[in-house]
Amino acid sequence: MKKCLWCSKTELNTTFLNLAHTIPESLGGSFICENVCDPCNTYFGAKQNRNAEIDLAIKETFYASYIRFLLAFKQIGKSKELARVKSFYFQINIEKLSISTKPAFKYLPGFQQSFCRQFKKGLYKMFLEESERQFGNGHNSEFDFIREFARFDLGDPPVYYYYRLLPFITTLKPMIKPEFSFDKRHYPYLVEEPGFFEFEFLGHVFGIPISRSWDLVIHNYLRKSRSAKGSYFRFPPINIRSITEIDIFLKCIHD
């Protein structure tokens, strides 16, 4: 019997009819988490008060990065799915191979902070749903604080962003379908530390706590992360509060 990993309701008292994409479908996500009920699935794709939708915050932020990858690889005209995607916040000029912001993307503290909070919820959502999809452990009680934040807007756990100091060269063709990978064999600078999880997604490196008692191991985590990343990333990492603290246009790419 299906049991929602967000609200714990089962098929006896809610429905599971709609597909719950772990990565927004509008970004190219194709993986489905079976244990997300329809009301919770709708929550992540719906506008909350005056805040942007959580899925939209993820899609828009990474969409700009994904376009940047495709521009660097001159693959922009080869993705029919991508050509149909409309961006609310960014203007993509295919002919000039350029990306710019639209007026809706306001460089104002209130907007940047609320948008960033929705984006952070989206990162935790991707982690928990992918962890459930790949390992079936999403219902573990250690992840309750993630449920409280991402689904019920309680608390404010950090998201650490590692800003690249040196440009990286795009030598590998980017993924046509973005994936959330727990396999770190191809990313030697990502560390494994109890209570934290690091991942790279479309060229961005993030670290998030996956235990409510993360503050007890934060110093060990940051020390190990500094050792692994050397002089390639800025330290300390940014505990993001504004979406502009992320290199969303991937200026660090060297074509």
Whether the CB-CB separation of 85 and 186 falls below 8 Å is answered with no
Confidence of residue 77 (pLDDT cuts 50, 70, 90): low
- Mean of pLDDT over the chain: 86
Q: What is the pLDDT of residues 58-70, one digit of tens each?
A: 998 888 777 777 6
Residues 141-148: contacts with CB within 8 Å, 24+ apart?
142/210, 142/211, 142/212, 143/210, 144/212, 145/212, 146/210, 147/5, 147/6
Neighbours of 110 (CB within 10 A): 9
Separation of alpha carbons 139 and 69, rounded Å: 35
Confidence of residue 88 (pLDDT cuts 50, 70, 90): confident
Residues above pLDDT 70, as percent of the chain? 84
Q: What is the pLDDT of residues 109-138, one digit of tens each?
A: 788 899 999 999 999 999 999 999 999 999
Torsion of CA 171, 125, 82, 51, to 10 degrees: -120
Beta bridge partners of 97: none
pTM: 0.90
Q: Is the pLDDT of residue 54 over 80?
A: yes
Whether the CB-CB separation of 233 and 205 falls below 8 Å is answered with yes
Whether the CB-CB separation of 240 and 161 falls below 8 Å is answered with yes
Q: Provide the residue type at 131 as one letter.
A: S
Q: Is the pLDDT of residue 175 over 70?
A: no
Confidence of residue 184 (pLDDT cuts 50, 70, 90): confident
Q: Is the pLDDT of residue 216 over 90?
A: yes
Separation of alpha carbons 190 and 123, rounded Å: 17
Q: Which pLDDT score is estimated for 44?
A: 96
Q: What is the pLDDT of residues 28-41, one digit of tens each?
A: 788 999 999 999 99
Q: Of 88-97, 128-137, 224-233, which one has max mean pLDDT?
A: 128-137
Half-sphere exposure (Cβ direction) of 188: Cα atoms closer than 13 Å: 3
Whether the CB-CB separation of 79 and 73 falls below 8 Å is answered with no
Q: Out of 17-26, 58-67, 161-170, which region has the weakest mean confidence (pLDDT)?
A: 161-170
Q: Which pLDDT score is estimated for 66?
A: 77
